[in-house]
A and B are shown apart, each in its own frame.
Chain A
Amino acid sequence: MKKLFGFVTALGIAASTTQVDARYLEADPLGLVDGPSVYGYAGQNPGRYIDPRGEYKETGLPASEGTGIGPPADDPCGCVVFLVGTTAAAPAIVAGQPITPKRFVTKGSSGGSSPISSYLNKKFPTPMKKSRWAPTTRVPSSKTKVLGKFAGRWVPIAGWGVLAVDIGLYWNCLENCKGCYDNGEF
C-alpha cells in the first residue's frame, strides 16, 4: 500500500508543484533517515528526489530516460529554470539598441532610434501631463513627455534588471548544486 501511495504521490508531484505538501499516511519504517519527519515525502524536496518505495529518497531518473520524473541528467538541480526570464529580457535589450534610422534625418545624420521606442511611440503617442525621467544611453538625465517613448526607454532597462536577477539566481543555484555534489547527494 505504501509503495502504491509513493508511486501515486510521485506522479502527482511531477504533475503539479502544489503537491509538495503531500505526506505519507504511515511513518517511515526506517525512521528519520530522510530528514526530521517520518511522514514527509522525499526529504520535502520532490523537485529533486523521488521515493517510490517509501523508504529512501532517490535522485529522480533523468526525464529523458522515460519516467518524466526528476530533473534532466545534465542539469540535476534544475538550475536552468532561473534563465527562463532571460528569454524575455534578451529581446527587450536588443530592441533598445539604436539600430533603426531616425525619423528626422538630414544629410549629415548618424545614429538611429531604438525599435522598441519607435514602436511604442507610434502606438502610444499620447503626451503625459508633464515630462518624466526616461534615460537614454547618452543622456541618462533626459526626460520625455510622450508615453510611448517613456515606456520604450524603460523596457530595455527592465530587461537588464531581469537578466541580472536571472544570472544571480542561476549562479546561486549552481553554487548550491556544487555543494550537493560535494556532499555526495548526487
Chain B
Amino acid sequence: MTMANSRDEVIEFTSSELLVPKSDLKNETSLMHDLGVAGDDGSEFLGKFCEKFAVVIDDDFDPTTYFGEEGSGNIFAMIFELITGRFKRNAPRLTVGDLIASVDTGKLTIPK
C-alpha cells in the first residue's frame, strides 16, 4: 500500500467510524483533542483500526492515557477538568498522522 493510498484509506475509515467530515481530518488532527473521541469510543476505534489495517499496538499501550475513562459519574472531577483542562492539556496527542504512519510500518508507535 502506497503512502497516498494508505492516507486515503485511513481518512475514509476514520471519517466513517467517527462520523466526521473528511475535510476535518488532517495529519495533525488529534482523535481526543480535536474530534472529541473519549472513553470506550477511543478503545473501540483503535481496536477496529488495528484489525482492519493489520496494525500491531505496543503491549504497554494504555487507552485511558489517551482517551480517559468511560463514564461520567464523578461530577466534581468533570467540573475540575472543565475549569482547568488539565487532562486534555497533558494527555499525549494521538493524531491521524500517527495512524497513517502505522499502516505503512505495521506498528502503531504510541506518542509519549
Contacts and interface: CB of A to CB of B under 8 A. Distances in A.
A109 interface: yes
Most buried by A among B35, B47, B63, B88: B63
A137 B46 contact: no
A96 interface: yes
Given A106-B59, A106-B62, A139-B87, A144 B72 contact: no
A112 interface: yes
A130 B45 CA distance: 16
A109 B68 CA distance: 11
A104 B19 contact: no
B74 A139 contact: no
A90 to B, nearest CB: 11
Contacts of A95: 73
A140 B71 contact: no
A130 B19 contact: yes
A153 B41 CA distance: 12
Interface string B3-16: 00000000000000
Given A106-B62, A138-B81, A96 B41 contact: no
A138 B38 contact: yes
Given A103-B40, A117-B39, A139 B63 contact: no
Q: How large is the interface on A (under 10, 10 to 19, 20 to 34, 35 or more residues)?
A: 35 or more
Contacts of B35: 143
Nearest to B86: A138
19 contacts: A93-B73, A98-B71, A102-B43, A104-B63, A108-B60, A108-B62, A111-B64, A112-B69, A114-B70, A117-B39, A131-B20, A136-B69, A138-B38, A139-B81, A140-B81, A140-B82, A142-B39, A149-B39, A149-B41
Interface of B: 18-20, 32, 35-41, 43-44, 46-47, 57-64, 67-75, 77-78, 81-82, 87-88
Interface of A: 93-98, 102-104, 106-114, 116-118, 121, 127, 129-131, 133-146, 149, 152-154, 156-157, 160
